[in-house]
Structure 1
Amino acid sequence: MKIEILGTGCMKCKRLAKNVEKAVSELGISADIVKVEDITAIMERDVMLTPALMVDGELKVSGRVADVAEIKAILGGA
């Protein structure tokens, strides 16, 4: 599973990254977590609002910080 956290490195982006890491840890799953901070790379993924969360190339959350429970639900269904 590939999880991408898209954002320029702001506090919200960092909070989303921490929530993703905690969710992955609590679920005990194997995932490749990648932080995408380059604005061009973010735009190439058709994301206009950050922070954003993509799982296996599919946009799951955009423009807000998902909490750990929501991320676990997303990953459990991925």
Structure 2
Amino acid sequence: MKIVKVYGPGCKRCDAAETMIRESAKSLGVEVEIEKVSDPRAIAIAGVMSTPGISIDDKLVHAGGLPDPGKLEGWLAT
């Protein structure tokens, strides 16, 4: 199981990123646990300068805007 964190204030883009992650994981057959992180201090500590940010298994893989679907699937597959 992959631990995925979505960093952001809870905006529409953050919700859309979470939906993308769930859909990509489902299509790949990968189990994910998604945690939303909205605390500004925790977001800064994670190194996210632009939201939404995404980390997979404690590795920051994306920050700012929605991720490219192909890249997202690649991150989840590895």
TM-score (normalizing by structure 1): 0.89
Flag structure 2 segments of 5+ consecutive residues without an equivalent. none
C-alpha separation between the residues in 2 aligned to 1:26 and 1:18?
A: 12
Q: Which residue number corresponds to residue 52 of structure 1? A: 53
The alignment status of 1:16 with 2:20, answered yes or no, reads no
1:17-36 matches, cutoff 5 A: 17-36=18-37
Flag structure 1 segments of 5+ consecutive residues without an equivalent. none
TM-score (normalizing by structure 2): 0.89
1:52 to partner: Cα distance: 0.7
C-alpha separation between the residues in 1 aligned to 2:38 and 2:27?
A: 25
Contact 1:4 1:35 in 2 (8 A): yes
3-state SS in 2 of match to 1:24 = helix
Identical residues among aligned pairs (%): 27
Contact 2:30 2:76 in 1 (8 A): no
1:51 to partner: Cα distance: 0.5
Look up the equivalent residue of 1:76 and give its one-letter code: A
- Measured on the aligned residues, the alpha-carbon RMSD in Å equals 1.1
